Chain A
Amino acid sequence: MRVVVVGHGMVGSRVAEELVTADPTAEVTVLGKEPVPAYNRVLLSSVVAGSKDPSLLSVAGPAHPRLRVLTGVGAVDVDRTARVVHDDAGETHPYDALVLATGSAARVPAIQGVALDTGLVPGVFVLKDMADATGIVEATRSARRAVVLGAGVLGIEVATGLAARGLAVRVVHLGERLMERQLGWEASQVAVASLERMGITTHVGSSVVGVTTRRGRLDGVRFGDGLEAAADLFVMCTGTVPDTMLARRAGLTCDRGVVVEDDLRSPDDPAVFAVGDCAQPPGGATGLVAQGWEQARRVVLRLARADAVDPAASTTDVVRVKASGMSMVSMGLSGDFDRDDPRHRVLSLKDPERGRFVEVVVSGGMLVGATCLGDAEVGATLSALYTRSMPVPEDPALLMVRALSGGGPGVVSRAPADLEDGDRVCTCNSVTAGTIRAALADGCRTAADVSARTRASTGCGDCRTTVEALVAHAADGHQQDIEHDPDLVRSES
């Protein structure tokens, strides 16, 4: 079977690599218009934040004899009757199945002065590909003041990344809340305060309508209310537009993206699939790579085994912001939803002083949504529970604090003198404090005597100091100072 994949991004590369493994007859050709092999676009914001080694970005797997990857080659046309793809190098690629994974482009808002015929004004960026990321990093070497337009997930990641590089950052957001798809009002307020603490100024309900330049370089932005701010770096993070050009030209139904059925096929042509950012499945696209990878898995299953039962989409919509020093995660019902819906039980905990906000939404005994800012442990536990549809406690408030979210302190500490006779001192050999005291009463004088008699501390040796303290206590006949005793032992509470 010949399969052509158009687009060598995070999802297209996954389809191609998994397909040659899953189907021993598959001969796969991938056309990638960028000059480099597939890389991890999700991590571009981390490149801006200064943490990424570029080698880490590569997601292209090892070479495979039945996998042909053409980089720097774009598809220009699909002849669905002849089942061939024409590329911009003049080559023709026949297919039995075509997978469109053309991704999306950054949306460039209509802002006066940002664009020249040759591209964006120097100092103005979007963040969609490697060149954008390296351009921004280059610009930060001389820039001191940055403005980020759009406080969605990417905007927040870029803003915190630039702040971590020492730039003064303003975030301008048209909506009234930051990350409005993920955060409700209260969460947004906590996030604003957290950003302030990181030196990031936020302007909500505002927009940038123009930029000013000096000697051809950006030197300021103008807000919708007429105010201006000096800026030598302006990054527009205002969403993406699915790349449907090839599909439209091929006569495939497109709406916002390439329209596909539940099985990811185009309704117009069963030989054509679309996955990732360019696709518009019945439930809508989330823009998250998890959804694209899940789609890749399903397309591979479908192509490798004609009789495959299409598994239900099991994609997760957990959104975890990659902002160093700021833990933010949301899932399911979050952002703007009907908090008064009687089917939902909504609990929240707001602690702006500590930059903490936790909201959980429970319905039918399941966690159906959550937002967590400023508590990494609780956020991680909520994601794990939500992802696997685990049951939630009768009182969902228990989910909101760390002490009960697993791995917390399960032990109490006691000074040796306070140990009850029944408390185990030596776990390895099941020796209790009472047994040791009896040995001391029966003539043992040293810790070595006690060990020889009772086997205490002859296993891992961890309780040796406690045994010594008990010996000393028996010898002194008085209680040790609990406050200053370093030899605390632990027993199950």
Chain B
Amino acid sequence: MTLSPDRATVGPRDGGPTATHCPYCALQCAQQLVRAEGPVPVEVQARDFPTNRGGMCQKGWSAAEVLTAPDRLTTPLVRRDGELVPATWDEALDLVHARLEGIRDEHGPEAVAVFGGGGLTNEKAYTLGKLARVVLRTPYIDYNGRFCMSSAAAAANRTLGVDRGLAFPVTDLGGAEAVLLVGSNPAETMPPLVQHLAGARSHGGLVVVDPRRSATARLTEHGAGTHLAPVPGSDLVVLLALTHVLVDEALVDADYLAERTTGWEDVLATVSRWWPERAEAVCGVPADTLRRTARRLAAAAPVHGGGGAFVLTGRGMEQSAHGTDTVSAAITLALALGLPGRRGSGYGPLTGQGNGQGGREHGLKSDQLPGYRLIADPAAREHVAGVWGVDPGSLPGPGVPAVELLARLGTEGGPRALLVHGANVVVSAPNVGRVREALGRLDLLVVSDVVPSETARMADVVLPVAQWAEEEGTMTNLEGRVVRRRRATDPPGDARDELWVLSELARRFGHDLSADAREVFDELARASAGGKADYSGITYDRLDAGEALYWPCPADRPAGTPRMFEHGFATADGRARLVAVDHRDPADDVTGDRPLFLTTGRVLHHYQSGAQTRRVAELVDAAPEPFAELSPLLADTLGVAEGDLVRVVSARGALELRARVTSAIRPDTVFVPFHWAGALSANLLTSDATDPVSGMPEFKVCAVSVERVAARNARPVLEEVHA
């Protein structure tokens, strides 16, 4: 048994530190929490761990501040005469139960919907899925991971047969001579990951594809690599052109393609259409730069004697109405280079949310049951129904993906009640104006959260729950490793563990759901047995002993699987199924009236909808408000100066922001970060066109116009979130 530094340690009640992981992103940096004197009950300390090597970003260091956010929810709230007023748990839960029963009696079980989040622990995600399927018996469940990983998941499933995020430990990146990062900005979104790019940078092999010269793109400076800045929405063209060059110059791993894949002939026909000069006119990356980049990647590939290469994808290319196809093109490139399943090389998406991986494995997705099983698969239904002690026929069928679920709320025949857990949909969904209207049509909105998020403020019932340092559970990080979250302090006031809340609600419907994290995990492990994401060999005892366990970890192969695909892919014949894909223009393409591309993204100091980070003073100080990034060329065109107030308009909405003039962005593109709410929400503008395979909305490209509203010293843009 290998002991990693993830062992359970004595908790603060006994005076020692508690070993846990950061509440934010999927890197799940290791932390230890020690009891602190003063208003904040614990202090965050760094802890050595392979993924973060003792590093953390400002969000992680300041994570404890959210525990004592001034507006932390500490008592259930019930809307009376239009106002949310305090209530007891019994009052609140009885009300929820009675209202749900009434709605179900009148409209049937499909009138109730559940919306989860990728920040929930595996135990909570599993229990929420079980609540929907067994207690509420509704097909309408989905989660905000749909806005995050769904395209990467769909593409990996269709080609590799399984989706585990990275199919290798993140430390493998360190030995590579080239790393291609497409649409990912880890230097801002998961900074400690950058340590693992040092090897590629020292070989000049870091390739970053991003329309912006992001903090990650800057890591390629001084000879460390290459930055390709394509037109937003044209990543697929870049990937096809890179593959074209590999074929053109006989750089593909022909033996690997012949032995380990099928479909290469079909792929060639579309790859043939994207010679670098044609690609250049569409993506704006010079043809010779594409050629040099392809050669650089090939030189690092094992087939050419290189030290290893990785292709990594991020939301920049996945959050598109063609996201699944774009990821398929990235996987094709990796397979053409012979990377997946070779030690020291590979393909993988960088998962965003803390438990975006586990969430999609254990039943938050509309078409899935625990263990990454398909709900439409009779064998899967039978197995899971057996663990749950119900008739397989009683389980609902597949529901609909998030954007459609939200659109159906309150419509004829659509859900009339919605339970939201760990999501802030009126900030994080695309075209939030429409989402707000949809929530307004509901008969009942119940939100469980730690703070009064913008979504919670619209609710009929708000349930205060525990978070991070106040709870036990597991998270599955971006490399498919299961890590422990441990309790170091008590939730404030009347806030309760979400498992308890779900259990109490189920009890009112006459069902028994465990509120104990360890018990839930053991049941989850049984439910996942035999599935793709098999956790049946994992226990709290093993995790608490510090074992590094990556799924699949079946009971009969308890060592788990740090590296996948070494002996074949998870397809019927063990070969990767290449999928031929071609470029299509964005759903909301630029026009004469809206001649610029908008792309959205994150800043280092905030996380997702900002519900947590906008409550941490030092993070707000560092990044107080959203802004619109414009190139000097565009600023000149529009007559805009640094700091001017500009109005960004799309077909769906408008936003007034400060202009930030920087040469770090293409002249045809505007960037707005998405962490703010209300009139400052970037998602007032974004398109809710979705990918036909994954249901992923097209967050990363839509058409806008920009005009100057006022000069720098005009009225400030102020935010009302703390109100």
Contact = CB atoms under 8 A, between A and B. Distances in A.
B268 A55 contact: yes
Interface string B594-636: 0110000000110000000000001001100000000111101
Listed from nearest, the 10 A-B pairs whose CB atoms lie closest are A460-B194, A376-B286, A384-B284, A459-B191, A460-B191, A320-B277, A428-B191, A410-B663, A407-B229, A393-B637
A385 B272 contact: no
A58 B272 contact: yes
A322 B272 contact: no
Interface string B633-673: 11011110000000000000000000000111111100000
A458 B46 contact: yes
Interface string B666-692: 111000000000000000000000000
A411 B662 CA distance: 9
A114 B665 CA distance: 55
A380 B284 contact: yes
Contacts of A381: 284, 666-667
Contacts of B250: 53
B498 interface: no
B285 A58 contact: no
B192 A459 contact: yes
Interface stretch (B52-60, B464-472, B568-576): B52-60
A56 B668 contact: no
Contact of A406 (B219, B229, B247): B229
Nearest to B632: A404
Given A427-B191, A460-B192, 5 more contacts: A40-B272, A322-B287, A391-B638, A407-B227, A461-B195
Interface string B241-259: 0001001111000000000
Interface residues of A, number: 65
Nearest to B622: A430
B717 interface: no
Nearest to A403: B663
Contacts of B191: 427-428, 459-460
B58 A390 contact: no
A407 to B, nearest CB: 4
Interface string A36-66: 0001101100100001110111111110000
B103 to A, nearest CB: 40
A383 B280 contact: yes
Nearest to B275: A43
A274 interface: no
A398 interface: yes
B663 A376 contact: no
Interface string B194-215: 1100000000000000000101
B46 A406 contact: no
26 contacts: A53-B247, A56-B248, A56-B271, A56-B272, A318-B281, A320-B287, A327-B288, A380-B281, A383-B281, A389-B590, A389-B595, A390-B590, A390-B668, A394-B637, A406-B631, A406-B666, A407-B227, A428-B187, A430-B618, A455-B56, A458-B46, A458-B61, A459-B55, A459-B191, A460-B193, A492-B662
A305 to B, nearest CB: 17
Contacts of B589: 388
A447 B192 CA distance: 18
A216 interface: no
Which of B61, B250, B638, B663 has the most CB atoms of chain A within a 10 A radius of its CB?
A: B663
B580 interface: yes
Given A429-B61, A461-B194, A384 B668 contact: yes
Interface string A350-383: 0000000000000000000000000011011101
B81 interface: no
A52 B246 CA distance: 10
Which of A290, A379, A411, A459 has the most CB atoms of chain B within a 10 A radius of its CB?
A: A459
B266 interface: yes
A409 interface: yes
B269 interface: yes
Given A381-B667, A460-B195, A461-B195, A61 B633 contact: no
B7 interface: no
A284 B191 CA distance: 55
A316 B280 CA distance: 13
